[in-house]
Amino acid sequence: MKTITLLITSLFASASLVLADGIPVDRKTGEVTVAHTVVPLTAEQIEETQTLGTFTLTPEQWREIRVKSPQCPKRFTHILPVTWNDCTCCVGDGSQYVIALSRDRIAVLHRGDSSVNMESVRHELFRDRRVTMLRINERGEFHLGGMLVPFPTLLKALAVPPEGAKRDERGKLLVTVSEGGSVYNCSRGLDVELPMGSKPSDDVFASRLKQIAAAADQIGFRVLFSVEEIESDN
C-alpha cells in the first residue's frame, strides 16, 4: 500500500493558519499540519464512506499505521472534509475522526502524547449511554470504541469519575439517556466482550478482568461481567 506520511515537529509553528479547535489543516495550502498517514481508499471503503459515513481501515492499512501510531482505532465514525471550517468539539480529538482529502484519499491523524490518549479513553468511557463495552482479544488486549487501550492507561482512566458526576442512592454513576422519545436517568454499566469460546477465568484474562472490575466498581460503574465466575473457576 502506498502511503504518504507527513511529520511536523511543532503544531504551534502553524497555529495561526489553523482554526482554533478546528481540524489541523493549513488554510492556504490545504495540507494537514500534524503527523498523519494518507490512505488511498479501496472501492469498498469508498462505498462505506458514501453510504454509511464511516471509515474502516483494512487489516493491512491498520497494521502499517499502528507501527507509527499504536493507538489508532480500526474504525472511525466521523469523516470531516478538508474544507471543514468549524470546531471539532462534536467529534473529540484526532482519534475520533479522519479528514477526507478527496473522494478516494483520507488522512488518518497519528495519536498524540499520553495526555491526549487519556482524554480520548475517558471520552469514550463516559459517553452518554447505558452500557460501555470493552472488547478484549485473545492476547488479553483491551479495545474501547475501536481503540487499542494499554492496560495501565485503562486502569488510570477508571481511577477518577467524570467531573460533576451524578449518582443514585446506591452511589452508582448516573447517565442521562434518550430512548423512544423519553429522557431518563439510569446507572452506568460496564461490560466486557471476550473472544468466542473464551472464559473470564482463562489465565490470559482473569487477573486483568478482576482489576478492571475493582476499579470500575470503586468509581461507581455497574459491573456487568461476573467476577465470581473467575474466582470460582480458579
pLDDT tens per residue, range 82-126 = 999 888 776 755 457 999 999 999 999 987 544 446 888 898 999
> How confident is the prediction for the chain on average, in pLDDT?
83
How many separate domains does the chain show?
2
Q: What is the predicted pLDDT for the residue at 182?
A: 87
Do 200 and 141 contact (CB within 8 A), yes or no? no
Q: What is the predicted pLDDT for the residue at 12?
A: 33
Same domain for 173 and 98?
A: no
Which residue among 109, 135, 156 closes a domain? 109
Q: What is the predicted pLDDT for the residue at 150?
A: 86
Question: What is the chain's percent helix, strand, coil content, to nearest 5?
Answer: 30, 25, 45
Same domain for 100 and 124?
A: no
Same domain for 118 and 227?
A: yes
Q: How would you classify residue 97: left for phi > 0, otherwise alpha for psi between -120 and 50, otherwise beta?
A: beta
**36-40, 52-56, 86-90, 183-187: range with lowest mean pLDDT:** 86-90
Does this model's pTM top 0.85? My answer is no
Q: Which residue has the higher pLDDT, 85 or 219?
A: 219
Q: Give the domain range for residue 89.
A: 4-109
Same domain for 76 and 47?
A: yes
Q: What is the predicted pLDDT for the residue at 92?
A: 56
pLDDT tens per residue, range 159-182 = 999 988 899 999 999 999 888 888
Q: What is the predicted pLDDT for the residue at 120?
A: 82
Same domain for 148 and 187?
A: yes
